[in-house]
Amino acid sequence: MRDLAPRGSIVGAALLCVGMVLLQASCNGKKNDPTTGGDPNGSDSSCTSTVQCTGGQVCDQSTNGCVASSSATCTAQDACGAAAYCNTATGTCQASAYGAANPCASNENCVDGETCTSGGYCGCDGAQLSVVRVVPNVVIVLDRSTSMLEKINGVTKESIAITAIDTLLAHYTQTIGFGLTIYSGTSPTACPAKCTAGGVVVAPALGSVSSADLASKNSTIENTLGSLTTCDWTPIGATLNALLHSASAWDTSRPNYVLLLTDGEENCGGDPASVATSLRNHSPPIKTYVVGFGSQVNPTQLTSIATNGGTSSYYNASDAATLSADFEAIAGTVASCNFTLSSAPSSSVAFSVYENGALVPQDATNGWSFSNDAHTGLQLNGTSCDTLKSGTANLSVVYGCGTVTVVTGT
């Protein structure tokens, strides 16, 4: 499964540039206005930099003369010379503007007082602002009852479930933190006494987590599933209750979820729907997603668990394809479009968000917005969030000198 590109990872097309961008909280009172460069009257047609041109003209690198922007064609940033950038949408060079976070290949593309940041945009030198994606917590709660040995299309439900989980971990290895609970019992290789509650077998990584932390947990989950023994009984309620009281499973700094998979129903006298309510009311709150696998589930019971758990309805999987699709749908829902900022941006400094090179508007419907009143949280909304979750987004946040209206987060 390792040939699958992780969703929102820092490799391939799913590059997410977090913790990079960054630029100065203030301009130290400097008046680095690029319009003061060159002839202020624009009467000198010769040039070495676009700051010497007026009226939206740029300095043509082949003639060293000021020309209309439409006449200076380009395919790359370095073709436009000093204080200009290549607008790849039109294929023409345009004048860089101070505080506008224009794209760049080197410092030459930027106006005086700005440099080309590691994100490929012009900005001010100075203090950095780090941006870190919020990684949600998902504890997989896996039914290992002996009925999971029944076959669908020649393959046991247990094997289908393990393959689907492996695929899920591979797709979201950098964007979701996973843990594992089995039931009944807590030993993957031994069966417990009748109706013994399950418990956390692999605790998710809590607190500030790195890519290595997430990958390590996923590897442990895969190894655990590789040695899993099936056992009798399905104590769903007791297992969810054990999770409710497990300090190692939940993180107060991130969203928390249960992903419950069963091919049957509660048969140990428990009340899983009631426990799902308690999980939802927990601090931090924990939502419960439910997947019923096969034809022997109790739809009424599973619907009650999902509804009380805050996820409306359960997912019904009948084979390998629908199980993987259900897991993918759930993961796509919980994957985060939220980010934590190391500090609140100053209202006097330009703050810009780019997705795949395009400026994302500050818009609570289909753009970006602050997610808290302190402005230390940022979230993507609507279509911008959808693009990020698709795994095809190259996201950059640029903090440069200029002015932006800071609004209350939604």
Structure-block tokens of residue 326 = 């259900």
Q: Identify the helix (H) or strand (E) that includes residue 140.
A: strand 137-143
Contact indicator for 251, 179 with CB cutoff of 8 Å? no
Q: For residue 304, tell me if it sits in a domain.
A: yes
pLDDT tens-place string over residues 77-116: 989 999 999 998 899 999 998 777 888 999 899 887 778 8
* Count of CB atoms situated within 10 Å of the CB of 299: 12
Q: For residue 39, tell me if it sits in a domain.
A: no
DSSP 3-state of 257: strand
Structure-block tokens of residue 404 = 């932006």
Q: For residue 362, tell me if it sits in a domain.
A: no
d(CA 10, CA 17): 7
Q: What CA–CA distances, in Å, run from 72 to 97, 102, 206?
A: 17, 17, 53
Residue numbers of the domain that contains 151: 135-334
Q: What CA–CA distances, in Å, run from 292 to 218, 261, 318, 364?
A: 23, 6, 8, 35
Helices (H), 309-362: 320-334
* pLDDT computed for residue 315 by the predictor: 98
Q: What CA–CA distances, in Å, run from 389 to 16, 53, 58, 174, 261?
A: 11, 43, 38, 12, 23
* pLDDT computed for residue 129 by the predictor: 67
Res 191 pLDDT > 70: yes
Please give the share of the chain, as a percent, with pLDDT higher than 70.
Answer: 84
Q: Kindly state the average pLDDT of the residues 188-215.
A: 93
DSSP secondary structure letter of residue 405: -
Res 44 pLDDT > 50: no
* pLDDT computed for residue 153 by the predictor: 96
Query: How much is the mean pLDDT over the chain?
Result: 84
Q: Kindly state the average pLDDT of the residues 349-375.
A: 87
Q: Kindly state the average pLDDT of the residues 175-200.
A: 96
**Per-residue confidence band for 132, with pLDDT thresholds at 50, 70 and 90:** confident
* pLDDT computed for residue 350 by the predictor: 66
Contact indicator for 6, 172 with CB cutoff of 8 Å? yes
Q: For residue 110, tell me if it sits in a domain.
A: no
Q: For residue 321, tell me if it sits in a domain.
A: yes
Better-predicted residue by pLDDT, 323 or 408: 323
Weakest-pLDDT range from 53-67, 162-176, 348-362, 390-404:
390-404
Contacting residues for 134 by C-beta, under 8 A, at least 6 apart:
254, 255, 336, 338, 339, 340, 377
Q: For residue 40, tell me if it sits in a domain.
A: no
Q: Name the residue with tokens 């758990």.
A: 309
Res 186 pLDDT > 90: yes
Task: Kindly give the pairing relationship between strand 286-293 and strand 256-262.
Answer: parallel
d(CA 108, CA 85): 9
pLDDT tens-place string over residues 110-120: 887 778 877 78
* pLDDT computed for residue 138 by the predictor: 97
State the total domains in the chain.
1
Q: Supply the CATH number for residue 172's domain.
A: 3.40.50.410
* pLDDT computed for residue 306 by the predictor: 98
Structure-block tokens of residue 290 = 């439910």
* CB burial readout 232-256, b (16+ within 10 A) else e: ebbbbbbbbbbbbeeeebbbeebbb
* pLDDT computed for residue 102 by the predictor: 87
Res 384 pLDDT > 70: yes
d(CA 155, CA 145): 16
List the end-to-end C-alpha distance of the chain, in Å, as a whole number: 38
d(CA 318, CA 263): 10
d(CA 176, CA 105): 33
Sign of the Cα pseudo-torsion (264, 266, 272, 273, in order): positive
DSSP secondary structure letter of residue 73: B
Weakest-pLDDT range from 133-142, 314-323, 350-359:
350-359
Q: Name the residue with tokens 């940033």.
A: 77
Weakest-pLDDT range from 156-160, 297-301, 370-374:
370-374
d(CA 351, CA 75): 27
Q: For residue 1, tell me if it sits in a domain.
A: no
Contact indicator for 235, 184 with CB cutoff of 8 Å? yes
pTM for the model: 0.70
Q: For residue 234, tell me if it sits in a domain.
A: yes
Q: Identify the helix (H) or strand (E) that includes residue 123.
A: strand 122-124
Q: Identify the helix (H) or strand (E) that includes residue 178.
A: strand 177-183
* pLDDT computed for residue 208 by the predictor: 82
Cα 104 vs. chain centroid, distance in angstroms? 25
* pLDDT computed for residue 348 by the predictor: 52
Weakest-pLDDT range from 12-21, 37-46, 109-118:
12-21
Res 157 pLDDT > 50: yes
Weakest-pLDDT range from 58-62, 193-197, 232-236, 301-305:
58-62
- Give all strands (DSSP E) within 276-357, no chain letters: 286-293, 315-317, 338-341, 349-355
Q: What is the largest CA-CA distance in the chain?
A: 92
Q: Kindly state the average pLDDT of the residues 404-408.
A: 27
